[in-house]
Amino acid sequence: MIRADEPTAPLDSERALAVMSILNQMARQYQTAIIVVTHDEKIIPSFKRIYHIRDGRTVEEAGEGRG
């Protein structure tokens, strides 16, 4: 399992998407999951499944990302 806490916080859009591409490549290569905590909405489409925490509960987003 790859866990990343705000991995793109200090990065511009281009570099943030590059980091997410690398994380996705690693997940495929090692056949593992990625768990990312972020406030960076531009990277959200990088994921197959998206969950939000609302009012202390985990809620899956209706539409899936591209991942």
- Distance between terminal CA atoms of the chain? 16
Q: Does a structural domain hold residue 65? A: no
In a domain? residue 22: yes
Helix (H) or strand (E) holding 28: helix 13-29
Measured distance CA(60)–CA(49) in Å, rounded: 8
Does 39 fall in a domain?
yes
Q: Which domain holds residue 48?
A: 2-60
Q: How many domains does the chain have?
A: 1
Task: With respect to residue 24, please indicate whether it lies within any of the assigned structural domains.
Answer: yes
pLDDT, one tens digit for every residue, the chain (67 residues)? 999 999 999 999 999 999 999 999 999 999 999 999 998 888 888 888 888 888 999 988 765 555 5
Q: Answer yes or no: are the C-beta atoms of 26 and 57 closer than 8 Å.
A: no
Strands 2-5 and 51-54: unpaired
CATH number reported for the structural domain that contains residue 25 in this entry:
3.40.50.300
67 located within any domain:
no
- Could you tell me if residue 40 is inside a domain? yes
pLDDT score recorded for residue 23: 94
pLDDT at 16: 94
